[in-house]
Each structure stands twice: as C-alpha cells, then as structure tokens.
Amino acid sequence: MRALTRTCASVLQDLRAQPLRAIVTVVAMLVGVLAVVAVTVAGAVTEGLVIAKSEQEVARETTYSVDLTARGGNSDADAFWDALSARIPTDHVGLAMLESRTIWPEPAAGLDAGTPVTVWVVQGDYRAIRRLPLLDGAWPNAGTSRPPVAAANLAAARLLDDSFTFRERTQGVLAVTGTVADGEPAPNLYIDWDVAHLMFPSPVQRESIRVLVRVDHADPTPVRRAAEAAATSTGWTVQAVERHDQIAGIRDELQLVRTAFLICGGIALLVAALGIVNIGLSTIGQRSRELSIRRAVGARRLDLLLLVLGNALAQAVLAAGAAVAIAWVAVAVVVPRAVPPESALDAPTLPWTTVAVALLAAGSTAVIGSLLPAIRAARIDIAAVLRD
C-alpha cells in the first residue's frame, strides 16, 4: 500500500514538473480515444434514428402481419378480432387490425375536387405497432361522438381544417382532433374502427383483412397458431403470417458500417500509441540522469517501470474524461437540436458502452504506448549515466 501511495505521489509530481509534456501526450491520446468514442456514439445515435424512422413508417421491431381471406363469402372481422384477442393477451403485445378507405373532402376544405385522402380504420392500439409521435391534440379513441373524429398526419393537417365535410355516398363531417407524424408524404387520417360506421354508413364488404401483431420475440410460431385457431372458429383462412418490420435487415446493414468505422478508430488509436512511444522515448532520454539518481538512492527497476506506466495511465484518465465529456455534450445538446420535432427518435442518452469504450481505449493506448519507454527506463545503466 505504501509503495502504491509513493508511486502515485511520484506520478503527480512528474505531471506538475512537466505540464506541457503532459498536455501534448493527453492531446495525442485524446485524438485516438475520441475517434473510437465518436464511432460508438455516432453508431448508437444513427442506429436509433434509422430504426425510429423505420418503426415510424413501417412497424416496430418483431411485428408480424397476418393476412386472412373469408371462407365462402364475407366473414365477421369483429368476431375474428375478439377470438384473436382472447388468445393473445394485449398487455404483453401490440395488436391492431386495419383497413383503408378513401374519401374526397369538399373543395372548401382547401383541396381540389379530385384530391383523395386515405382513411386508415384502426382496431386496437395502432401506436403500439408503429411509432406515431403525437405533435398536438389527441389520438382518436373509440366512441360514438358526432361528428366522428380522426388524427391527421402532417400532409393532411396542412390541407384540412379542424372540421370538414367529405363525400362518401352520403355527405358527412369529420373533425380532426390531433396531428401525428407518420413519416408519409401523402395525406392520411386515422380513425377508430368502432366509429367508422359514422363515416361510412354503408356496410363494408370484407373479403380480406390484415392484422398486425407485435410480440417480444422473433418466433412467429405462437402468432401463427393463435391466428389459425381464431380463423378456424370465425370463418376466415390464414393466407400468410410474415415478418412485417424491417429492423433485422437494418441492424445487419448498420453493423457493417459500424465495423468499418471501428477499423478507422483503431487506426487512429494506433497512431496515437506511436505518438506516445515517440514522446516517451524522447522523455526517457532527457530524464536518464534523473532516473539513474533515483536508482542510486534505492528505487527498484519495478518502481521506475510503474512510474512511467503510471504517468501514462494518469494521462489516459484525463483523455478518457475529456472524450466522454465531448460525447455527452454531443448527445445531450447537439443531437436533440438537430433532430426535427416530427422525428420518432426518442431522446438520446449517452450509452454506458461509450464510457467503457473510452476507458478501455485510453487505457490500452496508454499501456501500449508507454510500455517500451517504461522498459527502457527500468534498464538504464546507472554507472554509465553517472560516469557521463
């Protein structure tokens, strides 16, 4: 313990005696460490952005689509929904059934007479299937209020008033209660399945339906079994159960990019280590007499070895701290200001892996770069130095 305390005191004394040398070494190390840290942070933020955009426009990870057709004519979609919901507990998964209809708002709403708007009729919690940030207002809930209410995407919100009339066999009125960012350029509206009949009085002839199921695993077998059991009892036939989201492929592509950047970061670390070797060897040459005197008054070879390595590790801690601080500022300040409000990206945080990478990169660079100078310091010929 006393030896460790003595070594730490010697390290601090060396850093104070040669502050310019310490700063140059820290900066050289910081360049390499920051390259690796930047790759880690940029990879995490980029992955979050790309995945958030895909989950906004397509579906969240491990979402499966279940496509069904009616057997012998039209079947009851609500009956299938109830049967499937009984087999898949919705508190553990996301479950939604949807179909699309087209309406033509009256020209007074700010649209040309022939401009269509897609209405997505949703049963269940569709926002558990897709990331749909609510920019203002409220998501339409089930109910029988008049006029029926809907949430509009940004394209529809720019064109429509808060309440407008539409032509669908008979003229109706639709109220917009909220604006969501769905990432799509075409005007879309989202309404609840239970209130769709207020907009579309004529019965909907359903010969096929699609149900989206999001689970917490990548095995479609339980989803398929539940869908087939529900379909058999309600007059439907399961045509396909397929992976609906695109996250798996995105992660594979991002891994290739991340690997390439890590190689670049490794090269920067190697350059930093070579710079530390150069500085260290030059320093040992300048301090040879001082180190010889230390040996002469009782310092062991191990003490000199630990002194040089301790200097490098202390500078590594400073470089790692600076790299983490820069990364934190980038994640907490720069990224949130650069991301538009309609993005589905969650507020980014500094990943703990970044801190670990910074410490590991700084420590490994310090040890590799200072090992040769430390060995040379431990092998100084006392007699030759003092004789000179």
- Please indicate, yes or no, whether residues 78 and 223 belong to a single structural domain of this protein: yes
Q: Please say which residue of 215, 245, 275 terminates a domain.
A: 245
- Please indicate, yes or no, whether residues 101 and 232 belong to a single structural domain of this protein: yes
- Structure confidence at residue 111 (pLDDT): 57
- What's the structural domain count of the chain? 2
Q: Are strands 63-70 and 149-153 parallel, antiparallel or unpaired?
A: unpaired
User: Which residue shows structure tokens 């770069």?
Assistant: 369
CA 178, CA 192: separation in Å to the nearest integer?
13
- Please indicate, yes or no, whether residues 327 and 181 belong to a single structural domain of this protein: no
- Structure confidence at residue 1 (pLDDT): 55
- Please indicate, yes or no, whether residues 52 and 69 belong to a single structural domain of this protein: no
- Please indicate, yes or no, whether residues 170 and 294 belong to a single structural domain of this protein: no
- Structure confidence at residue 260 (pLDDT): 80
Query: Do 337 and 319 form a contact (C-beta atoms < 8 A)?
Result: no
- Structure confidence at residue 288 (pLDDT): 65
The 3 state secondary structure assigned to the chain is CHHHHHHHHHHHHHHHHCHHHHHHHHHHHHHHHHHHHHHHHHHHHHHHHHHHHHHHHCCCCCEEEEEEEECCCCCCHHHHHHHHHHHCCCCCCEEEEEEEEEEEECHHHCCCCCCCEEEEEEEECHHHCCCCCEEEECCCCCCCCCCCEEEEEHHHHHHCCCEEEEEECEEEEEEEEEEECCCCCCCEEEEEHHHHHHHCCCCCCCCEEEEEEECCCCCCHHHHHHHHHHHHHHCEEEEEEEECCCHHHHHHHHHHHHHHHHHHHHHHHHHHHHHHHHHHHHHHHHCHHHHHHHHHCCCCHHHHHHHHHHHHHHHHHHHHHHHHHHHHHHHHHHHHHHCCCCCCCCCCCCCHHHHHHHHHHHHHHHHHHHHHHHHHHHCCCHHHHHHC
- Please indicate, yes or no, whether residues 217 and 314 belong to a single structural domain of this protein: no
- Please indicate, yes or no, whether residues 49 and 83 belong to a single structural domain of this protein: no
- Structure confidence at residue 167 (pLDDT): 66
- Structure confidence at residue 225 (pLDDT): 92
- Structure confidence at residue 192 (pLDDT): 87
> Domain range spanning residue 294?
2-57+248-387
Q: Please say which residue of 245, 275, 296 terminates a domain.
A: 245
Mean pLDDT by 10 residues, the chain (388 residues): 58 61 74 78 84 92 92 78 84 79 70 75 90 90 72 88 67 81 92 77 70 88 92 91 92 82 75 72 66 67 74 80 85 82 79 77 76 71 59
- Please indicate, yes or no, whether residues 71 and 216 belong to a single structural domain of this protein: yes
- Please indicate, yes or no, whether residues 73 and 125 belong to a single structural domain of this protein: yes
- Please indicate, yes or no, whether residues 172 and 216 belong to a single structural domain of this protein: yes
